Structure 1
């Protein structure tokens, strides 16, 4: 029986409300019995005209269906993942040896088969929640096995092939057409991951193809380690290494006891822009940012001793560059997890034909020194290069972080040896006031591994910039102070000083202020000046005014090296499938202005971007971009609007197309067969998969539209939501005499299963009339008659329920 007051038609509402109130009164007058369920007051039932047999149906609380059920297990407030648990005919769980093994509860002395956990452990509390497929257990902590998180139950295995694509096409009347295709192919099989990425480019009749990497990977849960083989970037901690052909074994960061935050990069984008972060010329991070100041966190790096080179490329293809000094890195964050890192292999040829191959092996170990300190030790042995490093960081002093490192190197090919050392101090001075100071020093002979791959003759040395990384900088100092009082907004002041072996010095000063004004208006001001070259300065001011949560207008004034620009931009996210932005830019002293627009579309199974740009000379260019992914699995091919990551899920709503499911990556939709892909699951953490039931057709019933999944890295998880199409029928029942059936009479099927109770004026609500079962009226346990009824022709999916007449025969 279903009482959904909000969904009923107006003309039926007063009768249905009375009928629902019957059952509210049932439970208000009920007396609970722990052994026999709920007992109803027979006098009240009689006054309401409800048969006593109806009370038998509602006597007991909801139960799990007999047999195996997939259940989310929670022990002492901590989710343990989903387990398949056997339930008895009475809906009681079977606590067998397999359950104890997966749940990490110490098994009691028992024979094989089912037992009752509460009989062996009287203090244990078991709460069954069949409505959300969940079981909660509370018991003393000493009854849990003391193994670490690797013993938790994770979804593992699975088999699927993947293809990610990103196609960009640009048309410019002056430069012609440009087509770029980036693909990533691979497969997952038994927790093994294979991935290969390629880039193809076609410009003015010339074609270029490059393979960026190909590798195979697997995580071993019990050892908390990950094995990688192929073209990989070594995680060498304090030392700098190129991409190699080889293998490495590293701690699995998602299972590590301590995980770092990576490196933070801050800057300013004059327009909507693409930000590329490189280290040693290798791309380590790329993202899109809106106009204005940006801060990128958790940037992955492969070395703590090499500066980051940041390129900001605007929508008008104008770019500017800046670097993030390695001295500002905290050695606390590299490597990201405590443990041992080991790798061996051969360096690749790179992009320089004069570069020589070299074998190398790397070993890094990061260990705790007490509870608040770490020590990192790294060593690199190559055929023509050797290096070793040591770093210590500590939080022993309250509100103070200290870090120091030292790296020595020997380049046998060029007969160079040297030392690099540095320190970092972070202090929380008072509430909202933070100070960070760092330094880096090195001798003239210090070299990175990449420098040992080719001879340094005099001609090559003369062509190098004195600022070239790893060789030109003699010492570098950075200082940054930030203050964030609630009333005044956030302030930051930064200073960088670099001294080169060429006796040149560079000093830069930066200042920032941001403030949130009433009505969610945001204001930002950033300044960056060279203290040596007075013409090298930039100023950026921006104000953003939101019209609502989906639309905002921003105005920007900026000056860079004496050139002043003004920009006005409108951004509107219409819904989760469409958005657009429009912008106009004016450069002082130049005629005309530049215009740009971008339309973002998410047509369920791919992402599309359409861009337009017109410069001040009326030259136009157009851009079209399509991206997404696809998965090949046992049941066919399923498309995704997002790139497929190393751990993902295949979801099924059999026969239901267009259903929206929320995932970690955003909304996805089922295809014609009812399949959809969750492109990313958090390895060794809980991920939420939830059907948006508000957008389902009204004739679809779903048992449980939510699934929490804990998957191991590399797993391909498959889940089928239980859903079916149904017909809800409101019957108007009359006896053979033409009178309405008596209120309170029972309605049963031909197997004498209880279907419902007749309400006022002979009304009966069938929650699922698709199969049109044979129905009978019973009063005081005796069959009065069989009902004859005809269902109307099926109506649209938007109809909540249909009406039909039924008569005794």
Structure 2
């Protein structure tokens, strides 16, 4: 009890003023000499000069800053630094502008932790600045990649293979973002390479806009999805939502594996998916006309594909932006690269309705459009839009074509359990799509495009009934063809058993022809504990029934594997295995399967790399347009760091890459439970609010501590309760009443204490210190000699 009390007094003393005294009689009753009062009154201070210091404000780590300390060892603050830290500078004494200090009546309290090179500030809520201070600056080069290979070897005949690669290269330089995205695919000797985009981008917050130059896709709120080479200035809040013509798709798959998203013959993105309904986000659409082709691969090498109309994709549901957008350039990914200009602006906006109008002009082609968002109730939002096209040839007036495209949508979250959505569109016969901007001069009637299209979605969840989702669409083309597709999914947990039922009717692509296909499945999974899972399934693909079972084991955050077998109708059983390994450098996956006719293999790798001021750092996660470099200030590898984009691990140099969401607070946290016993990270959590395009260095110091329990030889022990000081005379610890001494961090230099007769003695280690990573403390023997 006495030991706990004196430790409490010591901790309190670290934050006390140097002039503060302690009750000597109380300390004497506890067995400590009178000099202890002076030692406790002398709080540790930094030496005068500039020191890299970890700043912690209200228990939140703000990173490393270079702080100047005066001759008394007190920190000096400046107005810019306080503003960056979010503290009101008016709460400090301004008599010396180069060395601001809290006033006598200030509600800012500062504790110095010299041994951890940190300052801990307690700041009242009203002393914090309301204006957000965004982290800015930084330079780095980035690479993102996602590569897959599938190889099939029939027992009779030659084998064949397919490969896909999506990559992104670029740089961030002082909030300028440079990016180039590519996709590559091959099937045997047929290869296809596409450059998706290549641009420079900069946010202009003073204008609430974003500037983008290069090979871009228009992000105009009305004329979005047009591929061109040029420049655009669009509202920044649109890019903040990540809606630069990006869509969300709900995809139903029977078994876990990978999914490829294609549009217009171009590979857009690859995803890892689970069995059941999957939500695929961050898909940058090429245009708003072509359907999405979804190609899925399971662990056994099975391949399925489905077509999802663009109208069935889910946009972000919100009132439209009312800022001004300007776009100019030449068409790309089309037969003719005509120049085009377009723009839109908001003409009305309140809490109920937002209205925007826009116009587009190209060679022999013009278009005008309006779009409105109407909030019909607290939760129900409707969107309406019309686009008028006028395509003509100056020499032949009879070829002038005028058309209209109309679209309406409705989103209604009825309750927390039930939500509904629906949309409809119509093209007149003489309508020419804005994505072509008159390059082909062919109308919807000429090309047999979609005349009318309808889509609907329902989602309902209930504690007893489970979760039901439905999405479907129907299309009518001017050439007389119709197409209907829908996806129905149901899932529920019955005790420890998870059930999923799926039914799908969709348009599947085969030899450039569309044909209807029916697909149904029922699967179940049973958790076995310790991240082990047993699963089984029954599939019916156009009357072909197959059954199977599998075993999955997630060993830890880095490694998982599975083994499965399947019996298809009128065929021998097949076996398949797969594994995924996520490490601090990349994510690798692979698998193989064997059936009566074919042996297949698949392998993949995804991740990224960043070249920054401290060197090259690899990451298993894709790096976004705004990111940070975490440094542990020491070479501590494999430290687990929880980030907004997922778990990452520090490399051999103590670095890791984390992607941020721009303009929002992002929290990064060290998993203290996964740290070695002899490593400490003060605070272990930090919040960052970055400017878009910033490369934010974040230092979270990791210290290797030398905890030691010293026991003394009989006759050579210090007096119980006597203070232990270093060579500079600073208090380090107190001797326990049983003559032992526990040191939270054994100093490198000599230590001194005193014997029972009051004489000074030096502490010498009989057992030398040896570093044993992963141990909480070392048990050593020592003696205190005169």
**Contact between 1:95 and 1:117, CA under 8 Å: does it hold in 2?**
no
1:755 aligns with 2:739: no
Q: Give the Cα separation in 1 of the matches to 2:769 and 2:202.
A: 55
Q: Give the Cα separation in 1 of the matches to 2:440 and 2:8.
A: 91
Superposed CA offset, 1:353-375 (max 9, x none):
xx111111221334662123222
Q: Give the Cα separation in 2 of the matches to 1:518 and 1:65.
A: 63
Find 2:351's aligned residue among 358, 364, 371. 371
In the alignment, what sits opposite 2:433?
448
Residues 792 and 432 from structure 1, CA distance in 2 versus in 1: closer, same or farther, beyond 3 angstroms?
Answer: closer
1:248 aligns with 2:232: yes
- Residues 357-436 of structure 1 correspond to what in structure 2 (within 5 A)? 357-366=337-346, 369-412=349-392, 415-429=400-414, 432-436=417-421
Residues 641 and 340 from structure 1, CA distance in 2 versus in 1: closer, same or farther, beyond 3 angstroms?
Answer: same
**Contact between 1:225 and 1:251, CA under 8 Å: does it hold in 2?**
yes
1:37, distance to aligned residue in structure 2 (A)? 8.4
The range that moved more, 549-558 or 128-137, is 128-137
Residues 259 and 605 from structure 1, CA distance in 2 versus in 1: closer, same or farther, beyond 3 angstroms?
Answer: closer
Find 1:767's aligned residue among 728, 740, 744. 744
Q: What is the count of residue pairs matched by the alignment?
A: 758
1:324 aligns with 2:301: no
- Residues 183-262 of structure 1 correspond to what in structure 2 (within 5 A)? 183-199=167-183, 204=188, 209-253=193-237
Superposed CA offset, 1:489-524 (max 9, x none):
2334556443333445445565443323223x3222
In the alignment, what sits opposite 2:332?
348
**Contact between 1:104 and 1:152, CA under 8 Å: does it hold in 2?**
no
Find 2:572's aligned residue among 546, 568, 592. 592
The range that moved more, 387-396 or 507-516, is 507-516
Find 1:567's aligned residue among 529, 544, 548. 548
Superposed CA offset, 1:59-106 (max 9, x none):
5889899766453557xx999998776666778765643256543848
Find 1:554's aligned residue among 528, 535, 558. 535
Q: Give the Cα separation in 2 of the matches to 1:430 and 1:795.
A: 59
Residues 512 and 202 from structure 1, CA distance in 2 versus in 1: closer, same or farther, beyond 3 angstroms?
Answer: closer
Stretches of structure 2 that go unaligned for 5 or more consecutive residues are 394-398, 508-513
Q: Give the Cα separation in 1 of the matches to 2:278 and 2:212.
A: 33
Q: Give the Cα separation in 1 of the matches to 2:452 and 2:416.
A: 32
Residues 432 and 186 from structure 1, CA distance in 2 versus in 1: closer, same or farther, beyond 3 angstroms?
Answer: closer
**Contact between 1:255 and 1:684, CA under 8 Å: does it hold in 2?**
no
Superposed CA offset, 1:679-736 (max 9, x none):
412222233333444444444444443333222222222233333444333333468x
Q: Give the Cα separation in 2 of the matches to 1:785 and 1:126.
A: 41
1:641, distance to aligned residue in structure 2 (A)? 2.6
**Contact between 2:312 and 2:473, CA under 8 Å: does it hold in 1?**
no
In the alignment, what sits opposite 1:126?
108
1:599, distance to aligned residue in structure 2 (A)? 0.9
**Contact between 2:218 and 2:245, CA under 8 Å: does it hold in 1?**
no
Superposed CA offset, 1:539-589 (max 9, x none):
33222222236222222223233232323233221101110122323322x
The range that moved more, 33-42 or 628-637, is 33-42
In the alignment, what sits opposite 1:15?
none
Q: Give the Cα separation in 1 of the matches to 2:410 and 2:442.
A: 39
In the alignment, what sits opposite 1:45?
27
Stretches of structure 1 that go unaligned for 5 or more consecutive residues are 1-17, 146-150
Q: Give the Cα separation in 1 of the matches to 2:41 and 2:708.
A: 25
In the alignment, what sits opposite 2:693?
714
Superposed CA offset, 1:654-674 (max 9, x none):
5524241413333434444x2
Find 1:97's aligned residue among 76, 79, 82. 79
The range that moved more, 540-549 or 89-98, is 89-98
Aligned-partner SS, 1:326: helix
1:803, distance to aligned residue in structure 2 (A)? 0.5
Q: Give the Cα separation in 1 of the matches to 2:503 and 2:161.
A: 38
**Contact between 2:363 and 2:438, CA under 8 Å: does it hold in 1?**
no
Aligned-partner SS, 1:762: coil
- Residues 71-86 of structure 1 correspond to what in structure 2 (within 5 A)? 71=55
**Contact between 1:516 and 1:523, CA under 8 Å: does it hold in 2?**
yes
Greater strand content: 2
Aligned-partner SS, 1:185: strand
**Contact between 2:719 and 2:754, CA under 8 Å: does it hold in 1?**
no
The range that moved more, 538-547 or 208-217, is 208-217
**Contact between 2:13 and 2:43, CA under 8 Å: does it hold in 1?**
no
- Residues 726-765 of structure 1 correspond to what in structure 2 (within 5 A)? 726-733=705-712, 738=715, 740-765=717-742
Residues 106 and 239 from structure 1, CA distance in 2 versus in 1: closer, same or farther, beyond 3 angstroms?
Answer: same
**Contact between 2:386 and 2:404, CA under 8 Å: does it hold in 1?**
yes
Q: Give the Cα separation in 1 of the matches to 2:333 and 2:253.
A: 35
Q: Give the Cα separation in 1 of the matches to 2:669 and 2:549.
A: 39
**Contact between 2:517 and 2:542, CA under 8 Å: does it hold in 1?**
yes
1:612, distance to aligned residue in structure 2 (A)? 0.6
Q: Give the Cα separation in 1 of the matches to 2:707 and 2:14.
A: 32
Residues 643 and 269 from structure 1, CA distance in 2 versus in 1: closer, same or farther, beyond 3 angstroms?
Answer: same
1:788, distance to aligned residue in structure 2 (A)? 4.2
Superposed CA offset, 1:417-438 (max 9, x none):
2101122233455663444343
Aligned-partner SS, 1:487: coil
- Residues 6-17 of structure 1 correspond to what in structure 2 (within 5 A)? none
Find 1:54's aligned residue among 22, 36, 39. 36
Q: Give the Cα separation in 2 of the matches to 1:219 and 1:280.
A: 30
**Contact between 2:428 and 2:451, CA under 8 Å: does it hold in 1?**
yes
1:318, distance to aligned residue in structure 2 (A)? 2.2
Aligned-partner SS, 2:207: coil
In the alignment, what sits opposite 1:583?
564
